[in-house]
Amino acid sequence: MVEKALFTIMLEGVFVKNFLLIQFLGLCSFVGVTKDVKSATGMSGAVVFVLAMSATVSFALFNFVLVPLKLEFLRTIAFIVVIAALVQLVEFIVRKHVPALYRSLGIYLPLITTNCAVLGAVLLNVMNDYNFVQSVTFGVAAGLGYTVAMLMMAGIRERSNIVNVPKAVGRGVTYAFFVATIMSMSFVNFFGVIPLE
Amino acid sequence: MNDVLINSIAVLAGLGFAVGAMLVAASRIFKIDSNPLIDEVAELLPGANCGGCGFAGCAACAEAIVESGAPVNSCPVGGFETAKEIGALMGQEVSESEPEYPFVRCNGGKSCVTLYDYEGVDGCKAALMLCDSRKGCTYGCLGLGTCVRACKFDALSMGEDGFPHVNKNLCTSCGNCIAACPNEILTFAPDTQKVHVLCRSHDKGKQVKAVCENGCIGCKKCEKECPADAIKVTDFLAEIDQEKCTACGACAAVCPQGIIEVR
């Protein structure tokens, strides 16, 4: 197998395999934390951090502990433990240093633990046999893709508050679902950039 | 087979232990020294997070009371009872204050001329930007219910007559409706104040009559009638000095527009 260039992996993670809009992973925060741009930014920052860290740690865990001991089947549970611990760590840091963000993120911060985008990225790393640099790149790219989608969604929803939305579309979550659909359809066009094998 | 079993247990136990140790260390490093009093005060607050106190929520209010010396009766929702309990916790005496309720200073509603059909963004603030209100009277209630939506306790309802009504049984005096109204129709008034002028139009009598059946025309009849000298007409609007008012109702009896309310 030809080694994929880092740039390709980056593009894939951000656009072609966008976690929220193409793979539909981690959708609960996509609807839950996109009411305003500020908390969406904070949430995205936390997710990027957790993704980068968990890509690093889980790569080490998988290749230096699980593979030598032939315990690959344990990867899901092991990764979840790692992710949970990292999220807890992020929570400590955010609560200490950015209490306002901590309050606005609310329950969604601990929910990154079960955010399937994080586990998904880590498991995809393993499935694609990425080496260390590729893994971390894909982790960061997935986080950036998440950020892009979150910020677009939050921006649209913020502006939608001051315009007339047809009653049939509604406001709040209903509106978010409509927007998510249309955004997702537009992201499908990125399939042309890098053909999915 | 045995190897795999033992290895699995060892790896997961080791992982759990390592992660646990790391988290313990992290929780020590990032420990927050919060005053336990804050939690106790927060416990006493209603927990509605309405923002009526002016802080971001009940937790923020509790923090302000304990840390930055906000008054113990900061919470308008909890009222005297809550203030007393918090005061006991903080070692402060609390004197009872009379409950205040929002009161609607407009009686126009349907009897006030509507200039055009408004079909824009639903909300008084936006409607007010268009030609200074869709109503003939620029002082009056627009009747689109921004205050009703601002109320988190269902205490306000938009009446058939086209302006909001306050249900005092549900009202918690949080002040959200007063802050929400772009035209300053609502204001706080203690329950002990019995007489109110249901209009805030400073337009001349003729102008008021042209657009609204229930507006103050500044005729000064009430001013002359008042035995306590408590009512004054300034800029074509009657205003009551609540300190002098004896709630005799003489003003209400003579008002040709019927806009002085005696509760």
Q: Is residue B175 part of a domain?
A: yes
Element (H, E) at B238: strand B237-240
B11 and A71 within 8 Å at the Cβ level: the answer is: yes
A66 and B11 within 8 Å at the Cβ level: the answer is: yes
Which of B11, B56, B120 is the closest to A69 by Cβ?
B11
ipTM: 0.71
Range of the domain at B52: 36-90
Q: Which of B142, B167, B190 is the last residue of a domain?
A: B190
Specify which residues B261 forms β-bridges with: B196
User: A133: how many CB neighbours lie within 10 A of its CB?
Assistant: 11
pLDDT at position A142, please? 92
Q: Please give the Cα distance from B133 to A143 (Å, whole number).
A: 47
CATH value at residue B65: 1.10.15.40
Q: Is the pLDDT of residue A145 over 90?
A: yes
Instruction: Look at residue B87 and give its three-state secondary structure.
Output: helix
With a pLDDT cut of 90, the percent of chain B lying above it is 3
Longest pairwise C-alpha distance within chain A: 60
Q: Which of B190, B216, B233 is the last residue of a domain?
A: B190
Check: CB of residue B238 under 8 Å from CB of residue B215.
no
Residue B7 — φ and ψ, nearest 5°?
A: -60, -45
> Domain spans of chain A?
12-186
Check: CB of residue B104 under 8 Å from CB of residue B168.
no
* B244 and B219 together in one domain: yes
pLDDT tens track for B17-46: 999 999 999 888 887 777 788 888 888 888
Q: Is the pLDDT of residue A1 over 50?
A: no
Asked if B26 has any chain A CB less than 8 Å from its own CB, the reply is: yes
Q: Is residue B30 part of a domain?
A: no
Which of A70, A78, A88 is the closest to B12 by Cβ?
A78
Asked if A96 has any chain B CB less than 8 Å from its own CB, the reply is: yes
pLDDT tens track for B88-122: 888 777 766 677 888 888 888 888 888 888 877 77
pLDDT at position A147, please? 93
Asked if B253 has any chain A CB less than 8 Å from its own CB, the reply is: no
Q: Is residue B21 part of a domain?
A: no
* B115 and B155 together in one domain: yes
Check: CB of residue A135 under 8 Å from CB of residue A55.
yes
Specify which residues B164 forms β-bridges with: B158
Enter the DSSP assignment of B233: E
Q: What is the mean pLDDT of chain A?
A: 85
Our count of domains for chain B comes to 3
